[in-house]
Amino acid sequence: MHQDIVMTRFAAPIAEQIWDMKYRMKAADGAPIDQTVEDSWRRIARALASVEATPGDFEPAFYDALEDFKYLPAGRIVAGAGTGRAVTLFNCFVMGTIPDSMAGIFDALKEAALTMQQGGGIGYDFTTIRPKGAPVTGVAADASGPLSFMDVWDAMCRTIMSAGSRRGAMMATMRCDHPDIEEFIAAKSDPARLRMFNMSVLVTDPFMEAVKADGTWELQFDGRVYHTVQARDLWNRIMRATYDYAEPGVIFIDRINAENNLSYVEEIAATNPCGEQPLPPYGACLLGSVNLARLVDRPFGAGAQIPDAALDDLVATAIRMMDNVVDASRFPLEAQAQEAQAKRRIGLGVTGLADALAMVGLRYGSEDGAAQTGRWMQAIANASYRASALLAKEKGTFPLYDAAAYAKAPMVTRLDQEVQALIAENGLRNALLTSIAPTGTISLFAGNVSSGIEPIFANSYTRKVLQPDGTRTEEEVVDYAVAMWRDLKGDAPLPDHFVTAQELAPLEHVRMQAAAQPWIDSSISKTINVPADIDFQSFKDVYLEAYETGCKGCTTYRPNDVTGSVLSVSESESKDEGARASEAASGEVVYMSEPLDRPASLEGHTYKLKWPDSEHALYITINDIVLNGHRRPFEVFINSKNMEHFAWTVALTRMISAVFRRGGDVSFVVEELKAVFDPRGGAWMQGKYVPSILAAIGGVIERHLISIGFIEGEGMGLKSDPQAEVVNLGQRPGPACPHCGQYDMRMVEGCLTCGSCGYSKCG
Angle at CA 456, nearest 5°, toward 453 and 460? 150
Give the active site residue among 198, 260, 261, 272: 272
DSSP at 456:
B
Measure CA 685 to chain center: 30
Give the active site residue among 111, 247, 276, 749: 276
| Peptide bond preceding 248 in cis form (omega within 30 of 0) | yes
Give the active site residue among 274, 554, 737, 754: 274
Beta strands in 265-318 (DSSP E): 270-271, 278-279, 287-291
3-class secondary structure, 526: coil
Decide: 327 and 51 in contact? Cβ < 8 Å.
Answer: yes
Give the whole-angstrom CA distance, residue 291 versus residue 448: 11
Give the whole-angstrom CA distance, residue 526 versus residue 406: 28
Q: Is 577 a catalytic residue?
A: no
User: Which of 664, 668, 669, 606 lies closest to 639, judged by CA?
Assistant: 606
User: Which of 354, 582, 523 lies closest to 454, judged by CA?
Assistant: 354
Give the whole-angstrom CA distance, residue 710 versus residue 701: 11
Helix (H) or strand (E) holding 750: none
Q: Is 272 a catalytic residue?
A: yes
Give the whole-angstrom CA distance, residue 755 versus residue 462: 9
Give the whole-angstrom CA distance, residue 727 versus residue 586: 10
Beta strands in 308-447 (DSSP E): 347-351
DSSP at 502:
G
Beta strands in 207-346 (DSSP E): 216-221, 224-230, 249-252, 270-271, 278-279, 287-291
Give the whole-angstrom CA distance, residue 753 versus residue 150: 25
User: Which of 111, 114, 198 lies closest to 160, judged by CA?
Assistant: 114
CB count, 10 Å around CB of 487?
12
* First CA to last CA distance, the chain: 30
User: Which of 480, 525, 455 lies closest to 752, judged by CA?
Assistant: 525
CB count, 10 Å around CB of 576?
9
- Positions marked catalytic: 272, 274, 276
